[in-house]
């Protein structure tokens, strides 16, 4: 029962129907125990009281305990049916039989029988509810005519007013239940619409914040480009001019050449920060065009020749994959400029059916060891491994270096 409660979370309407049903049974039990009814209405007590209590208990426990087995039984025997509606009709029939067995007119179970209409009334439409109420009233009149005093009873004589109220009650139940059902559906629809509006507002707020943040990043990138980057670029040009003018002056020329290299490294770092602030691979830009722009920028700043070759059929990539390849190429080119002392650089971008490959080769001084030293090499490996790929580095002294990155292709 506790597991079912946590799983199903019965609605307030269902709990209300169960509560009303038990309240009607309690009223019937109270009337029976008072001993104020004629013998014709209580001569089968307390048997009818226990029967109705069992009926009520079965109706209450059906959903949490018995429904899975009964529903599967219905499906095997008669196919797909609304098991609750079928059992509700059986419940109404039993309740009317109880009214007949308890003497018809003045039966303490009439209110209990009326409450058996609540469940089917909550499942049916208005027209079907009215038909159900007509059927209930017809069966009730037959029970009055055949039980107790039959047609000689007071319901056709001195108590016509009460009889009219009893006949009207099922119709009132049908209309009232339909009204509350309509109200519940309206409230549910309003709640769903309000939740949708709230979700949309949250999404729009998040989008607005993202756009504001991106606009701020773009503004900072523009200021760095127009300010610091231009200043460092002009500094490197002036240092190159000074180095040329100081040619042949020994230590000064060598010192200026080192300063030129340092200035260009600083400019590359600033360019990296600018690219980090800007969104990559958006719109219709392809990875190869983004890499070509990067290589052109690298050649302009460093003065080193670099070429891009594309092999295989280029295809649209997830943004995270394309960005990772772009950043790995950026880091590899920066390492070439800082450490390789290369005069020639080749970049190969290739595609196969399941992965994208990037190779950056240089003819520089190379190095001995496994190639795990340095923040740049570790950053490249980390970027690839985060997406299920890897980076391998091949190098030996005086033989150049090859950085090979492979990343799996995944659907966005």
pLDDT tens-digit series, residues 196-221 = 999 999 988 988 888 887 788 778 87
- The length of the chain is 412
Residues in contact with 232: Cβ distance below 8 Å, sequence separation at least 6, in sequence order? 263, 266, 267, 270
State the CB neighbour count (10 A cutoff) for residue 150. Answer: 13
| Highest-scoring range by mean pLDDT, 178-187, 240-249, 367-376 | 178-187
Residue with tokens 């150049």: 400
Beta strands in 151-272 (DSSP E): none
- The residue with greater pLDDT, 249 or 189, is 189
DSSP string, 329-395: HHHHHHHIIIII--S-EEEEEEE-SSEEEEEEEE-S---SS-S--SHHHHHHHHHHHHTT-EEEEEE
And the tokens for 237?
């040009």
Q: Cα–Cα distances in Å, from 262 out to 174, 232, 257, 268, 301? A: 88, 10, 9, 10, 12
For residue 46, say if its preceding peptide bond is cis, omega within 30 degrees of 0: yes
pLDDT tens sequence across 338-375: 888 888 999 999 999 889 999 999 998 888 765 555 66
Rounded Cα–Cα distance for residues 270 and 220 (Å) = 12
Sheet with 390-395, strands from edge to edge, namely: 306-311, 345-351, 355-362, 401-408, 390-395
pLDDT tops 90 at residue 307: yes
**b/e burial code for range 334-356 (CB count within 10 A of at least 16 → b):** bbbbbbbebeebebbbebeeebb
Is the Cβ–Cβ distance between 133 and 173 less than 8 Å?
yes
Predicted pLDDT of residue 411: 56
Residue with tokens 């990539």: 317
Is the dihedral angle over the CA atoms 185, 189, 190, 194 positive or is it negative? positive
Residues in contact with 343: Cβ distance below 8 Å, sequence separation at least 6, in sequence order? 304, 305, 363, 364
Backbone angles phi, psi at 377, to 5 degrees: -65, -40
pLDDT tens sequence across 73-89: 877 777 777 878 888 89
Q: Report residue 4's pLDDT band, with 50, 70 and 90 as the boundaries.
A: very low
Partners of 395 in the β-ladder? 401
Rounded Cα–Cα distance for residues 110 and 226 (Å) = 89
Is the dihedral angle over the CA atoms 220, 221, 227, 229 positive or is it negative? positive
And the tokens for 336?
């070439």
Task: Say what percent of the chain tops pLDDT 70.
Answer: 90
Rounded Cα–Cα distance for residues 357 and 380 (Å) = 13
Q: Which domains does the chain have, with CATH numbers?
A: 2-158 (no CATH), 284-412 (3.30.565.10)
Question: Is the pTM here over 0.75, yes or no?
Answer: no
Q: Report residue 278's pLDDT band, with 50, 70 and 90 as the boundaries.
A: low
Predicted pLDDT of residue 217: 76
Residues in contact with 291: Cβ distance below 8 Å, sequence separation at least 6, in sequence order? 308, 325, 326, 329, 347, 349
Is the Cβ–Cβ distance between 127 and 133 less than 8 Å?
no
- Comparing 59-68, 128-137, 285-294, the range with the smallest average pLDDT is 59-68
Maximum CA extent, the chain:
137
Predicted pLDDT of residue 279: 55
Helix, strand or coil, per DSSP, at residue 355: strand
Is the Cβ–Cβ distance between 401 and 362 less than 8 Å?
yes
- Comparing 241-245, 246-250, 299-303, the range with the smallest average pLDDT is 246-250
> Which of 126, 235, 236, 239 has its CA nearest to residue 185?
126
């Amino acid at each position: 029962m506790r597991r079912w409660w946590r799983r199903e979370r019965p609605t307030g309407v269902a709990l209300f129907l169960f509560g009303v049903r038990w309240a009607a049974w309690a009223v019937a039990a109270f009337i029976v125990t008072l001993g104020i009814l004629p013998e014709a209405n209580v001569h089968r007590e307390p048997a009818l009281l226990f029967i109705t209590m069992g009926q009520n208990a079965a109706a209450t426990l059906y959903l949490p305990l018995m429904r899975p087995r009964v529903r599967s039984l219905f499906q095997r025997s008669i196919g797909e049916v609304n098991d609750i509606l079928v059992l509700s009709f059986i419940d109404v029939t039993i309740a009317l039989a109880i009214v007949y067995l308890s003497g018809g007119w003045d039966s303490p179970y009439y209110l209990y029988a009326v409450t058996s209409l609540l469940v089917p009334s909550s499942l049916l439409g208005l027209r079907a509810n009215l038909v159900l109420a007509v059927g209930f009233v017809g069966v009730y009149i037959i029970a009055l005519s055949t039980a107790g005093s039959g047609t000689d009873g007071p319901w056709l004589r001195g108590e016509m007013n009460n009889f009219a109220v009893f006949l009207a009650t099922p119709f009132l139940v049908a209309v009232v239940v339909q009204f509350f059902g309509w109200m519940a559906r309206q409230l549910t629809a309003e709640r769903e619409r309000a939740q949708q509006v709230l979700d949309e507002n949250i999404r729009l707020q998040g989008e607005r914040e993202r756009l504001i943040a991106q606009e701020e990043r773009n503004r900072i990138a523009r200021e760095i480009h127009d300010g610091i980057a231009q200043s460092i670029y002009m500094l490197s040009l002036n240092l190159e001019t000074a180095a040329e003018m100081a040619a042949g002056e020994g230590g000064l020329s060598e010192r200026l050449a080192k300063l030129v290299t340092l200035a260009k490294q600083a400019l590359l770092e600033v360019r990296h920060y600018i690219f980090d602030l800007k969104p990559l691979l958006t719109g219709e830009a392809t990875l190869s065009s983004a890499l070509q722009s990067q290589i052109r920028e690298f050649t302009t700043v460093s003065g080193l020749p670099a070429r891009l070759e594309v092999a295989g059929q280029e295809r649209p990539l997830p943004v995270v994959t394309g960005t990772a390849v772009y950043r790995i190429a950026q880091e590899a080119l920066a390492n070439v400029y800082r450490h390789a002392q290369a005069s020639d650089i080749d970049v190969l971008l290739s595609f196969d059916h399941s992965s994208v490959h990037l190779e950056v080769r240089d003819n520089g001084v190379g190095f001995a060891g496994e190639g795990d030293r340095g923040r740049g090499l570790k950053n490249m490996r980390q970027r690839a491994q985060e997406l299920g790929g890897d980076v391998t580095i091949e190098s030996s002294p005086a033989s150049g270096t090859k950085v090979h990155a492979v990343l799996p292709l995944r659907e966005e």
